[in-house]
Amino acid sequence: MTEITMPSLSDSMQEGTILSWLKRDGDEVAAGDELVEIETDKATMTYDSPADGTLQVVAEVGQTLAVGEPIAQLTDGAATPAPDADADADAPAADADADAPEPPDAREAAAPEQPVEPAPTPATAGASSGNGAGPDSAGPADPADPASPAEPGVRATPLARRMAGVHGVDLAGLRGSGPRGRITRSDVAASAGIADAPPTTPSAPTSTEAAPTSTEAAREPASTPPGDGSQELTRTQQLIARRMSEAKATIPEFQVQTEVEIDDLMALRERLKHQADPPDPLPSLNDFIVKAAARALRRHPRANGSYRDGRFQLHEQVNVGVAVAADDALVVPTIREADGRSLGAIAREARRLAAAVRDRSITPPELSGATFTVSNLGMYGMTAITPVINPPQAAILGVGAARAVPALVDGELRERRLMTLTLSCDHRILYGADAAEFLSDIRRGLESPLTLVTG
């Protein structure tokens, strides 16, 4: 038997959500077959079967599990004997329903007339700590549990048996919706005519933070102003919130800022517009900025580094992340080895990655490995942006809009186009002079744009 666990599909993935099973429970699968679609903190990915065998699904669609937790099993295809009462009562966790347990308060609120349940077992205590495991996923039902009557010939999860005992539901008369017809908590709740509490996830309240009962949850909206509401974060939004909070709380940051004259750059882009071949995209202002930053990063190794565990980690590759606005989130795909790419190659790769972000085909490797980030809000008319560092990078460059300003040139008043660049830096690895020299290097490259085209 081969156990399949939640895989780690990206460098920052801690948990994943089962979006769909591409093979059905009981199907014969071969190594390399697409098995399951998983939503990670960065993208939606398919995971292939690691071996041959008969699929036994453990984790149901919609369930969120930590990396390393079991999601399925592959058996050698031998026939499985028909279950009897004892075998069903002692079924292992891999054959149990993947529904996470109801919070104890929710069960008590749903049936206030019932006696208080026995003190939690060690497995139950583990569930209250928010690790995503519980009595129903950890093993068989406790035979001494008064709410877990054994019914010969009935396949049901331990939680379903307890709920049936509490609400007086005859399991023998139910048709199970779980794997291989197993009766789940939702089946019992539907038969009893009660609301089924949503499954808990690893982000559930800890044992020191009691989860609100269903009665409390029902009263809560009354104290909320009319029209207000709450919205659950997507996995990408959760990752952004966590990383940005960590950055602001742990990184001693400072900013340096400069103005760049881009008249020559804009004139060069106009010439390139008439010379470029139709299949090749015209390099944008942001493409020039990425190229200038990549060249400067090669000359300033600490700006391309990280501060980790009291050491400077200096990266060999110059990989520039480009912030792209997606639906309700900010995604940062990576242009790898940007310092060695031509301006045209950077333009093509930037368009490809941006399109992949917007059509949700971007992959975790394309979102990983950046050593520096460029965040440009100029297209929205913002004159400047002070971005938050994307840890563990040493710095991030904020780009404002190109704007026309009057300037005195050789005694005459002329119009000049300026752009504001703001560099947010981690003071543990970059100091004021380092940051100023690095940003000045970027400015010089943009003010001499021909060097970016030919270099």
Residue among 3, 84, 9, 90 at smallest CA distance from 44: 9
Confidence at residue 280, expressed as pLDDT on a 0 to 100 scale: 79
pLDDT attached to residue 101: 46
- pLDDT, tens digit only, all 455 positions of the chain: 889 999 887 766 778 888 889 888 889 999 888 889 888 766 777 888 888 999 989 998 888 888 889 999 998 854 444 444 343 444 444 344 444 444 444 444 344 444 444 444 333 333 333 333 333 333 333 333 333 344 556 777 766 776 777 677 888 888 887 766 778 877 777 777 665 544 433 433 333 344 444 344 444 444 556 678 888 887 778 878 888 898 899 999 999 999 999 999 999 999 988 876 767 789 999 999 999 999 999 999 999 999 988 899 999 999 999 998 877 778 899 999 999 999 999 999 999 999 888 888 888 889 889 999 999 999 899 999 999 999 999 999 999 999 999 988 888 888 999 999 999 999 999 999 999 999 999 999 999 999 999 86
Report d(CA 259, CA 279) in Å as an integer: 33
CB atoms within 10 A of CB 317: 15
Long-range CB pairs of 400-405 (<8 Å, 24+ gap) are 401/377, 402/262, 402/266, 402/285, 402/378
Tokens 């950055």 found at: 247
280 three-class SS: coil
* Alpha-carbon span 289 to 312, nearest angstrom: 25
**Distance, first Cα to last Cα, the chain:** 57
The one-letter code for the residue type at 405 is V
Overall pTM surpassing 0.85 (yes/no): no
| Measured distance CA(409)–CA(401) in Å, rounded | 22
As a whole number of angstroms, the longest Cα–Cα distance in the chain is 99
Cβ 348 vs Cβ 280: under 8 Å? yes
* Residues taking part in catalysis: 427
Cβ neighbours for 394, distance < 8 A, ≥ 6 positions apart: 302, 303, 304, 305, 306, 307, 372, 425, 426, 429, 430
Q: Which amino acid is at 10?
A: S
CATH 2.40.50.100 is held by the domain 2-215: yes
Cα–Cα distance for residue pair 277/288, rounded to 1 Å: 18
Task: Give the helix/strand (H/E) hosting 446.
Answer: helix 432-447
Q: Which of 446, 185, 434, 424 is nearest to 295 (CA)?
A: 446
Across the strands, what pairs with 305? 314
**CA–CA distance from 254 to each of 96, 149, 420, 429 (Å)?**
53, 64, 16, 11
The count of other CB atoms within 10 Å of the CB of residue 178 is 23
Q: What is the pLDDT of residue 196?
A: 52
Element (H, E) at 127: helix 122-128
Where would I find the H helices in 168-223?
A: 185-192, 214-219
- Residue spans of the domains in the chain: they are 2-215, 236-454
CATH superfamily of 236-454: Chloramphenicol acetyltransferase-like domain (3.30.559.10)
Q: Which DSSP category does 183 fall into?
A: B
Helix (H, G, I), strand (E, B) or coil at 304: helix
Q: Is the separation of the CB atoms in 36 and 43 below 8 Å?
A: no
Rounded to an integer, what is the distance from CA 279 to the centroid of its chain? 34
Q: Which residue has the tokens 């300033």?
A: 300
419 close to 397: Cβ distance less than 8 angstroms: no
